[in-house]
Chain A
Amino acid sequence: MRPEDHVGHGHGHLVTFDPTETEPDHHDTPPTHGRAVRIGIGGPVGSGKTALVAALARSLADRVRLAVVTNDIYTTEDADFLRRNAVLPPDRVEAVQTGCCPHTAIRDDITANLDAVETLEERFGDLDLVLVESGGDNLTAVFSRGLVDRQIFVVDVAGGDKVPRKGGPGVTTADLLVINKIDLAALVGADLGVMTSDAHRMRGELPVIAQSLVHDPGATDVGEWVLAQVGAVRAAA
């Protein structure tokens, strides 16, 4: 192709026929600052991932500059929840569509999530932490190390006290396993002692935190763990 071929065709600016699209492409500033620490939050449907994100957003608000990425079918739902409760300003929450495959979007092809994280980093420039909430999925769904620095897997007592011993990469390899909704243990007949000892047996040295967001709306223990990870990842970088 000869360069002179396109002279005179008027390629000075991009063509747009959409009268509502007046803004230039906003993705052209490459990040010039340090990268935010990225923590993935995964686990089965309804285990309390969004509730944990909301708790962390509230309790860590004064200590880290935070943004959140939410995934999949309940994307709008979860993003709206976080915005509606004024946990986070709307522009600190990015929603990602995963084409019906929440595990693909956090593990096999992380493009959409990387784009969302980078969009937030470009928008704010000075983030310390980005939490990526996966769509609710099964026990085999883990985050790619290419997307997150650390990952939390959230299960709940209402799913049955057999869940930790079923194992799967989520339970066995996540950097932190959270057993949530322990306030419901008696109501659903779940044996918390069995759950935590199974969890420790499956996970070796990896940490386990049992919590109830009803009793501790600030998710204190998980919050401390998250802050320690932000420090550790930053120190290693």
Chain B
Amino acid sequence: MPSLATLVLSDARFPGGGHVHSGGLEEAVARALVTGVGDLGTFLHGRLRTAGLVAASFAAAAAVAAGSAEPCWAALDAELDARTPSAAQRDASRAQGRGTLRAARASWPSPVLDALVAAHPRPHHPLLVGAVVGIAGGDPVEAAQCVAYLAVSGPASAAVRLLGLDPIAVNAAIVAMAPTVDEVVALAVAAADRAPADLPAPGAPMLDLLAQSHVRHHREQVRLFAS
């Protein structure tokens, strides 16, 4: 049974700052790469298998670390940095981590959070999610599920807002991804006990480029999302 912490962290109403991030979707929409529910599904699928798998793996590993005597937060943080070559994406991840930390300190106060923050003042979002799930007694599967789901639900919600898509059709598209979500979660959990350097590292050059050009375009024209 999922812990309440996992449900709360996956809820779009969780006040951790997720609603201002589109995960590259806004830039993809601006370039007409995503125009409707069909190509949104393709975008989400690619995101889930790459950025989603990396995030889910680090969340699962963080859930393990939260319960260990000497968690290697600095190594996890550095390895996730290394898997995120886009500076804009690192910023987006740390901004959501900082927001989640603010809410987590009030809801799940723990020395585990202090240790995580000692490694970096604005920890990466997946590490925060994994740590909170671990603190609340949840297992790595929940942490990975939560983060894999957020990897697609955030951009999907942005698509509803930017393109005026039918939210019922978009919801169905997310649910149709269940087999892929399960696959990604299984890969993430299988790797959760490994050393940080050995966690999965699939790349998504297109998402990296979209993230970078999103930031550049924000200086020239309006962008409504932070990433």
A residues contacting B by CB (< 8 A) are 1-3, 5-6, 9, 11, 13-18, 20-21, 25, 27-28, 30, 72-73, 75-76, 96-101, 104-105, 108-112, 114-115
CB neighbours (8 Å) of A9 from chain B are 75, 79, 195-197
Q: Are B78 and A11 in contact (CB under 8 A)?
A: yes
Among A15, A72, A111, the residue within 8 A (CB) of B224 is: A72
Count of chain B residues near A, Cβ 8 A: 49
Q: CB-CB < 8 A to A2: which residues of B? A: 70, 195
Minimal beta-carbon separation of B215 from chain A (angstroms): 11
Given A1-B72, A6-B197, A11-B75, do A110 and B224 touch, yes or no (CB 8 Å)? no
Q: List residues of B (68-123) whose CB comes within 8 Å of A's CBs.
A: 68, 70-72, 74-75, 77-79, 81-82, 85-87, 90, 94-95, 98-99, 102, 120-122
The answer to whether A28 and B121 have CB atoms under 8 Å apart is: yes
| Contact yes or no, A108 B15, CB < 8 A | yes
> Which chain A residues lie closer than 8 Å to B223 at the CB level?
97
**Bound-complex Cα distance A105 to B21 (A):** 12
Residues from chain A with Cβ under 8 Å of B17 in the complex? 109, 111-112, 115
> Which chain B residues in 1-34 approach chain A with CB under 8 Å?
13-22
Q: Is the interface of A mostly helix, strand, loop or mixed?
A: loop
**Cα A13 to Cα B120 with chains together (Å):** 11
Per the bound structure, the CA–CA distance linking A145 and B72 in Å amounts to: 37
Q: Specify which of B16, B70, B81, B224 is in contact with A99 (CB 8 Å cutoff).
A: B224
Within 8 A of A (CB), among B47-84: 61, 64-65, 68, 70-72, 74-75, 77-79, 81-82
Given A18-B87, A115-B95, check contact A105 B224 (CB 8 Å).
no
- Contact yes or no, A105 B222, CB < 8 A: no
* Nearest 5 Cβ contacts at the A-B interface: A111-B17, A5-B195, A111-B99, A6-B75, A99-B20
B224 touches A104 (CB 8 A): no
A1 and B66 alpha carbons, distance in the complex (Å): 10
Judge whether B177 is part of the interface by a CB distance below 8 angstroms: no
Is A97's CB under 8 angstroms from B195's CB? no
CA distance A70 to B64 in the complex (A): 40
What are 16 A-B pairs with beta-carbon distances under 8 A?
A1-B196, A5-B75, A6-B196, A6-B197, A9-B79, A9-B197, A13-B78, A20-B87, A27-B98, A28-B121, A97-B226, A99-B22, A112-B17, A112-B20, A112-B95, A114-B102
Report the minimal beta-carbon distance from A190 to chain B, rounded to whole angstroms.
32
Q: Does B136 interact with chain A (Cβ within 8 Å)? A: no
**How many Å from the CB of A3 to the closest CB on chain B?**
4
Nearest-CB distance from A163 to chain B (Å)? 27
With known contacts A11-B74, A115-B99, A99–B87 Cβ distance under 8 A: no
- Which residues on the A side are within 8 Å of B71 (C-beta)? 1
Q: In the complex the two chains form, what is the Cα distance from A6 to B82 in whole Å?
A: 14
Nearest to A13 among chain B residues (CB) is B78
Contact status A99-B78, CB under 8 Å: no
Contact call B20/A105, Cβ cutoff below 8 A:
yes
Are A100 and B81 touching (Cβ within 8 A)? Answer: no
Residues of B within 8 A of A6 (CB): 72, 75, 195-197
Task: Specify the chain B residue showing the minimal Cβ separation from A100.
Answer: B161
| Structural contact, B87 and A16, CB atoms closer than 8 A | yes
* Given A9-B75, A97-B20, 11 more pairs with CB closer than 8 A: A5-B195, A6-B195, A6-B196, A14-B77, A73-B222, A97-B226, A99-B224, A108-B13, A108-B15, A115-B17, A115-B99
Q: Does B162 sit at the interface, judged by CB under 8 A?
A: yes
CB-CB under 8 A from B72, the residues of chain A are 1, 3, 5-6
> Quick check: B87 and A1 within 8 Å, CB to CB?
no
Give the complex CA separation of A63 and B206 in angstroms: 50
Give CA–CA (A5, B20) in the complex, Å: 36
Whether A99 pairs with B21 at a CB distance below 8 angstroms is yes
Is the CB–CB distance between A73 and B224 below 8 Å?
Answer: yes
Bound together, the chains give a CA A97 to CA B86 distance in angstroms of: 19
B22–A1 CB distance below 8 A: no
